[in-house]
Amino acid sequence: MQTANTLEALRESVAKLRAGGETVGLVPTMGALHEGHLTLVRRAREACDHVVASIFVNPTQFGPNEDLDAYPRQLAEDSAMLESEGCALLWAPTVDVMYPGGFVTNISVSGVSDGFCGADRPGHFDGVATVVCKLFNQVRPDMAFFGEKDWQQLAVIRAMARDLDLVLPHVHSIIGVSTVREADGLAMSSRNRYLSQKDRTAAARLPAAMKQAISQIEGGDNVAQSLKALKGALIDAGFASVDYAELADASSLVSLDTLTGAPARLLVAARIGGTRLIDNMAVN
């Protein structure tokens, strides 16, 4: 596996991969890789001739009181994992390469960015949309792979790519890949490592309580009451607070107080021991 740290080196290496008309799949990450990321790499390998992964802890998507400095950085370990999964190229720019002096552009996707994590983390999705647009333009992949765990992020990226005409020819498809879970159901996340043993045990109540709320809603129970019970179950389990627990249309992310027949999603963000966990599941 090659590693590129400059745009020139990246372009040269991607051009070599593409020689002969071969396809390139991009897996954008912030590092601290786990099985969820490696699943994205495997999906990209199945779909494309070559995989390019990026590792960039993007400062513009962290709020002033968030964990930018504490965010785990382990480039050597991540690089070895990507190599053993058959990744062809690692794109690992520095902050100065990604945002050279004088950088003034911001991409803001309204609507889908506004609620849920967007409401709790002002500016977060502008940072995501801007850096992902840059990654698409830098690598020009045929396909890009993102985890469905960040459901709202995926919706924002799809809207950005559609509105800015990035879908063709630069990014042929944006592929959402199902959330990978630990044995007890907790969605894999680089932030799970912040949890104490006690909080890690309690965190498994999140997917369990979500499944219970979904079976109630799908069974015809009142949505607001089912969501209230879900929040109560999380607080009882040891969560400090619930930022949101809502039912929404799966693509527009408009909140729903009843099922409409269109695909819906239960989205939750809750805090435990200083760590904010998010999860989402389909509701039919």
Instruction: Considering only the stretches 1-9, 75-83, 95-103, 128-136, report the one whose residues sit in contact with ligand PAF under the rule CB under 6 A.
Output: 128-136
Q: Of 28, 141, 176, 207, which lies in the binding site for ligand PAF, with binding defined by CB under 6 A?
A: 28
* Binding track, positions 158-197, relative to ligand PAF; x by CB under 6 A: ----------------------------------------
Contact predicate 230/247, CB 8 Å:
no
Least distance (Å) from ligand PAF to the CB of residue 81? 15
- C-alpha atoms less than 13 angstroms from C-alpha of 205 in its C-beta half-sphere: 21
Task: CB nearer to ligand PAF: give 128 or 209.
Answer: 128
Asked if 148 interacts with ligand PAF (CB under 6 A), we say no
Where does residue 8 rank: exposed (0-12), middle (13-18), buried (19+ CB within 10 A)?
exposed
Q: Confirm whether 37 is a catalytic residue.
A: yes
Q: Token digits for 158?
A: 């799809």
Report the residue number, 30 or 143, with the smaller CB distance to ligand PAF.
Answer: 30
Instruction: Name all contacts of 250-258 with Cβ < 8 Å and 24+ positions apart.
Output: 250/151, 250/282, 251/155, 252/111, 252/112, 253/111, 253/112, 253/115, 253/116, 253/152, 253/155, 255/115, 256/223, 257/223, 257/224, 258/223
Q: Residue 235 and residue 205: Cα distance in Å, rounded?
A: 10
Distance between CA atoms of residues 229 and 207, nearest Å = 14
Of these, 30, 166, 245, 256, which contacts ligand PAF (CB under 6 A)? 30
Contact between residue 36 and residue 147 where contact means Cβ atoms under 8 Å apart: yes
Under DSSP, the state recorded for 255 is B
**Contact letters (x/-) for ligand PAF, 210-249, by CB under 6 A?**
----------------------------------------
Q: Is 113 in the site for ligand PAF (CB under 6 A)?
A: no
Burial zone of 82 (CB within 10 Å; 0-12 exposed, 13-18 middle, 19+ buried): buried
For strands 275-283 and 264-272, give the pairing: antiparallel
Contact 128, 150 (CB under 8 A): no
Interface segment toward ligand PAF; rule CB under 6 A; list 22-30, 112-120, 231-239, 248-256:
22-30
Binding of ligand PAF at residue 131 (CB under 6 A)? Answer: yes
Pairing label, strands 264-272, 241-249? antiparallel
Span of 5-13, 28-36, 220-228, 230-238 interacting with ligand PAF by CB under 6 A: 28-36
58 vs 226, beta carbon nearer ligand PAF = 58
Q: How far is the CB of 127 from ligand PAF (least distance, A)?
A: 7
From 24, 25, 26, 29, residue interacting with ligand PAF (rule: CB under 6 A): 29
Find the catalytic residue in 34, 37, 124, 172. 37
**What does the binding site for ligand PAF look like in residue numbers (CB under 6 A)?**
28-30, 58, 61, 128, 131-132, 150, 153
**Active site amino acids:** 37
